[in-house]
């Protein structure tokens, strides 16, 4: 594509996408996913007011905690109040976890054809490189496409829950009562990123006790006097406790200036890392190294200086 054609295409795509054309939205997302020429132009043209006004709510927590079931319920609450909702399901931990993707489809199947709901699964295709940058870019496309709230589900393992904090205006950490014993040793990272804790599977034994313990641990006395995250008890399967959780999430807004700068800096960091790494691939490195080895005085440190 010539630059002019790229410009025209991305301008038209943005207009169509803003007018609510789902097919064009899907095309925009695949432009971003596959870094099709013109995608940067598209991102640069996104309207600033939408990007700052639409809240992203991130749901993270261990596999099977009930995140998808909860999101399904939250969609119900938000749609009943007249909102348009986009949902992004990401599983960065297991590239070939098709079961989870299928599961999300089944659990959110109520909403797949609803005019106010757009659901998209994002697979990492075996590589973590750039995934966070792609999620950031896709959530921004969704904001431009006229949704009122963007819900993002990620499985919380290792680093991913910390990174979702930079993505979401409100981070919801979903736990189950069985996590009670772990709570004392819960990773500091998880405690810090949560704006809201949900103890789901409230129908299981020990749920009330777990909620009490969690509230105690989170109280300002235990928390250097800082604002404590709210704790909700839910039973996503039956809908128990969902209305008050949803009421809080509906109040999610882009935050004060300091928090906003922090969030944008996190996003900028992910985007810059992704761009810098674009030219670097293992396959490419193997090829170049195999050529460079022929020279006999190969030095790894001199070699990488060209990157
Ligand atoms: N008993 C009980 N089961 C629940 C509850 N919420 C969800 N489940 C069940 O827990 C299982 C996992 O639910 P999901 O919503 O797929 O959990 P998830 O956290 O999205 O799972 P992954 O995306 O695979 O990490 C399903 O069988 C749900 O029916 C609940 O409140 N109580
Ligand atoms: Mg899920």
The verdict on 90 and 127 lying in the same domain is yes
Report DSSP state, residue 62: S
Per-residue pLDDT tens digits for 232-269: 999 999 999 999 999 999 998 766 777 788 889 988 98
Per-residue burial over 158-185, b if 16 or more Cβ lie within 10 Å, else e, is eebbbbbbbbbbbbbbbbbbebbeebee
As for ligand 1, residues whose beta carbon falls within 6 Å of it are 63-69, 100, 103, 107, 155, 200-201, 203-204, 235-237
Report DSSP state, residue 152: E
The verdict on 85 and 193 lying in the same domain is yes
Look up the domain containing 86 and give its range. Answer: 49-254
**φ/ψ of residue 155, rounded to 5:** -80, 130
Average pLDDT in the 212-218 region? 86
The verdict on 188 and 236 lying in the same domain is yes
Neighbours of 36 (CB within 10 A): 17
Mean pLDDT of the chain: 84
The verdict on 206 and 287 lying in the same domain is no
Q: Can you give the pTM of this predicted structure? A: 0.87
Per-residue pLDDT tens digits for 163-214: 666 788 898 999 999 876 666 556 566 677 788 999 999 999 999 999 998 8
Instruction: Return the pLDDT at 155.
Output: 73
Cα gap 204→207, rounded to integer Å: 6
193 or 53: which carries more pLDDT confidence?
53
Flag whether 260 is in a domain: no
| Poorest-pLDDT segment among 71-75, 130-134, 204-208 | 130-134
Best probe residue, ligand 1, of 64, 119, 210 (max atoms within 8 Å of C-beta)? 64
Flag whether 97 is in a domain: yes
Q: Which atom of ligand 1 is nearest to the CA of 72?
A: 15
- Rg from Cα positions in the chain: 21
């Amino acid at each position: 594509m010539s630059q002019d054609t790229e410009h025209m295409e991305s301008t038209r795509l943005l207009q169509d996408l803003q007018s609510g054309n789902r097919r064009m939205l899907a095309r925009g997302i695949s432009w971003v996913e596959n870094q099709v020429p013109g995608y940067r132009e598209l991102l640069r043209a996104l309207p600033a007011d939408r990007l700052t006004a639409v809240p992203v709510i991130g749901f993270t927590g261990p596999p099977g905690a009930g995140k998808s079931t909860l999101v399904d319920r939250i969609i119900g609450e938000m749609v009943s109040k007249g909102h348009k909702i986009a949902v992004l399901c990401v599983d960065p931990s297991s590239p070939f976890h098709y079961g989870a993707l299928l599961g999300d489809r089944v659990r959110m199947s109520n909403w797949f054809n609803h005019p106010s709901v757009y659901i998209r699964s994002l697979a990492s295709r075996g590589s973590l490189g750039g995934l966070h940058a792609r999620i950031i870019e896709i959530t921004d496309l969704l904001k431009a496409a006229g949704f009122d709230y963007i819900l993002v589900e990620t499985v919380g393992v290792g680093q991913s829950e910390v990174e979702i904090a930079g993505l979401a205006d409100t981070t919801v950490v979903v736990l189950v009562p069985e996590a009670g014993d772990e709570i004392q040793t819960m990773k500091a990272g998880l405690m810090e990123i949560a704006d809201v804790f949900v103890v789901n599977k409230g129908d299981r034994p020990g749920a009330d006790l777990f909620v009490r313990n969690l509230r105690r641990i989170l109280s300002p006395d235990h928390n250097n006097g800082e604002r404590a995250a709210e704790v909700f008890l839910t039973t996503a399967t039956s809908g128990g406790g969902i209305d008050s959780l949803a009421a809080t999430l509906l109040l999610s807004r882009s935050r004060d200036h300091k928090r906003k700068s922090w969030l944008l800096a996190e996003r900028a960091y992910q985007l810059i890392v992704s761009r810098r790494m674009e030219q670097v691939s293992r396959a490419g490195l193997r090829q170049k190294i195999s050529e460079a080895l022929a020279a006999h005085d190969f030095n790894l440190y001199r070699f990488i200086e060209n990157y």
